[in-house]
Amino acid sequence: MTELKPHAAHWGSFDAVVRDGRVVGVQPFARDPFPGSLIESVPDIVHAPCRIDRPYVRKGWLEGRRKGALRGGDAFVPVSWDRAVRLVADETRRVRAEHGPTSIFGGSYGWSSAGRFHHARSQLQRFLGLGGGYTGQINAYSYAAAQALLPHVLGTNEVLLGRTTDWAAIIRHAKVMLCLGGLPLRNGLVTSGGAGEHANEINLRRAAAAGLRFIQVSPNRADVPDWCNAEWMPIRPGTDTALLLAMAHVVVSEGKQDDAFLATHCVGWDRLRAYILGEADGIAKTPAWAAPITTIPADRIVALAREIAEAPAMLTATWSLQRADYGEQPYWMLAALAAILGKVGKPGEGVAYGYGSVNGMGNPRRDVPSFAMPAARNPTGAFIPVARITDMLENPGGAYDFNGREQRYPDTRIVWWAGGNPFHHHQDLNRLLRAWATPETIIVQEQHWNALARHADIVLPATTTLERNDIASSGRDRFVRAMHKAIDPVGQARNDHDMLADIAEELGFRDRFTEQRNEDAWLRHLFEQWRQNCARTGVETPDFDSFWSKGWWEADAPPRGEEYTQFAEFRADPDEHPLDTPTGKVELFSETIASFGYDDAPGHPVWIEPREWLGAVQADRFPLHLLSYQPATRLHGQLDPGRVAAADKIEGREPITLNPQDAAVRGLKPGDIVRVFNDRGACLGGLRTDPGLMRGVAMMATGAWFDPLEPGVPGSLCVHGNPNVLTPDVGTSRLGQGPSAQSCLVQVERFTGALPPVRVHLPPHIEVTAA
Ligand SMILES: Nc1nc2c(c(=O)[nH]1)N[C@H]1C(S)=C(S)[C@@H](COP(=O)(O)OP(=O)(O)OC[C@H]3O[C@@H](n4cnc5c(=O)[nH]c(N)nc54)[C@H](O)[C@@H]3O)O[C@H]1N2
Ligand SMILES: Nc1nc2c(c(=O)[nH]1)N[C@H]1C(S)=C(S)[C@@H](COP(=O)(O)OP(=O)(O)OC[C@H]3O[C@@H](n4cnc5c(=O)[nH]c(N)nc54)[C@H](O)[C@@H]3O)O[C@H]1N2
Ligand SMILES: [Mo]
């Protein structure tokens, strides 16, 4: 018998086709005009051979090899759920008593599932918070540098993640859109909390049809679809700040700045202007100065500056620009340029970040409350900046700076992860692997034997969303969707909530954790809260049972003709509607940031040479700039064992793209297996070439599961193609402490040995005799 079960994921909404207790296919959500292909991998993921079938414990951990033991090379021993729950509870109790709650690292960064109740990270943090506290993580890998910076400059992060100027306004009023990093459609395949309607292509096609002129500044032509007819200006990675400063120089030299707006809506223009003109440091930031840095000819910079100054223009940048050394700077300078030209708050003009970074940015919308699990409190209040995990493990008690605060790292004894994967998301994995030896115990709730589970001590098998009921919702999507349980749990997998409830019971707080609700009661309870929030804002919603049987609910789309421009009220009356900055104005110079005294993030935007870029001396040995971008065939590491990702690989290896000339000088041709390396590590990749990729740049998507040739040995070749063995692990600056993966130099050569197999999609070594 075949059944259809409504369901949703970050990568799209669908009906799961279920036959004989197995998910055998998917049918895209009928209301989604561009469902994308990622949902096709769902059946492969649910029934993958690398699903974790029961709880396991690392053999060495059971034998007492804990602190100081390199993880990843040991066998695993199967244990019963009862034993696993007791081991975890005893260890949590012991470590809390001996070392205090902050010695439990429960930051657990990661995307988890679209389902909001069973959201693994939220469940874990609720559990750890109610149990006495933990050390958390603040901000996101996606845009940590920007999250620290923008509140100082524009008084809000809405310009990055929230309600930005929408496409309706841009299409009506702007003539030009300057797109740093382009507007890659592949990134619009996903929405955190689940896509109901993939809207980016709708909006982009409308804009193209309306004749909006796109100027694409990025190393990779494919970052904007052909049908946008964008003008492509290739730029050397990591140098956008220099381009923007030079554009500002043209504006000032030609008197094109908006003096009135600068006087009434901005502070610090005198300081920034002096820097641009070179009065502060003796270097005028002219187009001739920026040309050799960016590789964009000076006359082209002049023309670009004039065009942006004279035409109604929207200025945007992808989030990738700030995941780089001093990644705060291009973001600040882009906002500054929009302010200097008086564009902030003008209908359809101004600045916003990420239109090409995720689905739904700038999609015209009504503000409807999203369905969510309430955030849990962490009684310790302790946290680290999201990407400083290796630093934390290496330096217990060590001091560091972050956004004006001096903080100290905790002494970590337990690392606990649910719904994220540091062996996917973190940089310099070989360094992480060494630091990963410092905790006594690493607890991981996972669905698959990915690299994180393989480097854990206690592995608790989690269900996928198809094995439980839930509700998907995102602030960027009009649809709230029911996620019906489609099949029984695979093997002995359990819901994160249920396993944590059992551990809470051992620790004496089950009822506080569950509030005596089961899954059904939780969903009804959260739904009722959401309904009340909606009612308060005048939005009508159905009752739970009607919603559940229909499978989805849709918020009204704003009527055609309605448009939204961010900062419009501020523009109209800066005294009545000040920004939430210390001065209420756009801060071209920030006294607050200046007072921190950081040389890597001073009081106004500056050009600082990245530690790694094509202008650096190391470029002699490592002459290719590696951009490790978001994969078109997966969500991060999720879906990697699925058919969509598999079809894109070359002999099972992640593709790496070079300009054909860069391939030719290395004697390489498409389809070759190559070794990509630098002083931090090496991985294999399958070669592709693209004349639309700038010379000197290599592109390799993130997400192929880390698969070291010799598991547990730092520095071992990743045979699969995870670029994070190559990327540097340094904070963007002391201000943001964000990840700076995009500042990375490598070399590429033919791989000559016998091709080692990719083993990471099969379970690791399991010892069945013990325990
Ligand atoms: N080099 C480089 N590195 C990067 C980036 C880059 O551009 N370049 N980008 C960074 C960015 S922006 C991000 S957001 C991060 C993403 O990093 P992550 O969000 O950590 O990556 P995911 O692979 O989505 O990890 C989610 C994990 O949760 C698991 N999971 C899913 N559902 C459940 C569940 O219900 N229960 C449990 N227990 N587990 C579940 C999945 O199996 C998966 O392993 O990567 C960052 N890393
Ligand atoms: N299909 C899919 N979509 C995703 C994700 C996924 O895993 N899969 N992940 C989601 C997540 S978590 C996030 S945070 C977003 C991230 O969204 P982004 O950060 O915007 O994504 P990237 O793919 O890293 O980068 C976009 C483009 O920026 C360009 N670029 C890189 N460096 C520079 C530079 O220095 N200057 C200029 N001008 N351009 C540069 C590159 O050519 C690249 O193609 O994507 C989301 N969308
Ligand atoms: Mo992200």
Catalytic positions: 109, 111
Q: Which ligand is nearest to the CA of 215?
A: 2
Residue 115 CA: nearest ligand 1 atom is 35
The tens digit of pLDDT for each residue in 670-711 reads 999 999 999 999 999 999 999 999 999 999 999 999 999 999
* Atom nearest to 142 CA in ligand 1: 12
- Identify the pLDDT of residue 769: 67
* pLDDT, tens digit (0-9, with 9 covering 90-100), for 15-48: 999 999 999 999 999 999 999 999 999 999 999 9
Nearest atom in ligand 1 to 320's CA: 7
- What whole-number distance in Å separates Cα of residue 118 and Cα of residue 569? 39
Contact predicate 150/160, CB 8 Å: yes
Pick 508 or 376 by higher pLDDT. Answer: 508
Domains of the chain: 52-140+377-554 (3.40.50.740), 166-362+566-596 (3.40.228.10), 617-750 (2.40.40.20)
| Stretch (H or E) spanning 153 | helix 144-153
- Residue from 46, 111, 497 to probe ligand 1 pocket by mutation (most atoms less than 8 Å from CB): 111
Nearest CA to ligand 2 atom 14: 142
Residue 98, φ and ψ in degrees, nearest 5: -80, -35
Structure tokens at 413: 């004894």
Q: Is 90 exceeded by the pLDDT of residue 365?
A: no
Q: Are 714 and 680 in contact (CB under 8 A)?
A: no
Ligand minimally distant from the alpha carbon of residue 494: 1
pLDDT in tens, 254-292: 999 999 999 999 999 999 999 999 998 999 999 999 999
Cα separation, 763 vs 759, in Å, equals 8
Place of tokens 């964009």: 296
Q: What is the mean pLDDT of the chain?
A: 97
Q: Which ligand sits nearest to residue 109's alpha carbon?
A: 1
**Quick one: tokens of 603?**
């009081």
Pick from 404, 396, 403, 407: nearest CA to 439 = 396
Q: How many Å apart are CA 353 and CA 162, to the nearest integer?
A: 10
- Rounded to the nearest angstrom, the distance between the alpha carbon of 739 and the centre of ligand 2 is 13
State the pLDDT at residue 476: 87
Distance CA 55, CA 459 (A): 6
Q: For residue 667, give every residue at least 6 positions away whose Cβ sits within 8 Å of its Cβ, in sequence order, or none.
A: 750
Asked if residue 499 has pLDDT above 60, the reply is yes
Q: How many CA atoms lie within 13 A of 324 on its CB side?
A: 31
For residue 532, report the distance from its CA to the centre of ligand 2, in Å.
37
Q: Give the orientation angle of helix 287-294 with respect to helix 298-310, to 10 degrees.
A: 110
Phi, psi (rounded to 5 degrees) for 529: -65, -40
CA 629 / ligand 2 centre spacing (Å)? 5
Q: Whose CA is nearest to atom 29 of ligand 2?
A: 181
Choose among 412, 435, 413: nearest CA to 72. Answer: 435
Residue 279, phi then psi, degrees to nearest 5: -70, -25
Q: Whose CA is nearest to atom 39 of ligand 1?
A: 419
Ligand 1 atom with the smallest distance to the CA of 140 is 14
pLDDT tens sequence across 48-98: 999 999 999 999 999 999 998 889 999 999 999 999 999 999 999 999 999
CA of 220 to the centre of ligand 1 (A): 24
326 Cα to the center of ligand 2, angstroms: 17
Residues 383-404 pLDDT 10s: 999 999 999 999 999 999 999 9
Write the CB contacts of 707 (distance below 8 Å, at least 6 apart in sequence). Answer: 451, 718, 719, 720, 722, 758, 759, 760
* Top mutation candidate among 41, 318, 648 for ligand 2, by most atoms within 8 Å of CB: 318
**Residue 771 confidence (pLDDT) above 80:** no
DSSP string, 534-596: HHHTT-----HHHHHHH-EEEPPPPPTT----TTHHHHH-TTTS--SSTTSSEESS-HHHHHH
Residues with CB under 6 A from ligand 2: 142, 180-182, 184, 186-187, 189-190, 217-220, 223, 235, 237-238, 240, 318-321, 324, 356-358, 627, 629-632, 635-636, 742
Ligand 2, closest atom to CA 180?
A: 38
Which residues sit opposite 213 in a β-bridge? 176
Are the C-beta atoms of 220 and 185 separated by less than 8 Å? no
Looking at the CA of 322, name the nearest ligand.
Answer: 2
Report residues whose beta carbon is within 6 angstroms of any ligand 1 atom. 110-113, 118, 120, 141-142, 323, 418-421, 424-425, 445-448, 450, 462, 496, 628, 635-638, 702, 723-724, 727, 741
Helix axes of 496-506 and 120-130: crossing angle, nearest 10 degrees: 10
Residue with tokens 């109901």: 196
pLDDT tens figures, 623-676: 999 999 999 999 999 999 999 999 999 999 999 999 999 999 999 999 999 999
Overall average pLDDT of the 314-330 stretch: 98
In this structure, the number of other CB atoms found within 10 A of the CB of residue 366 comes to 13
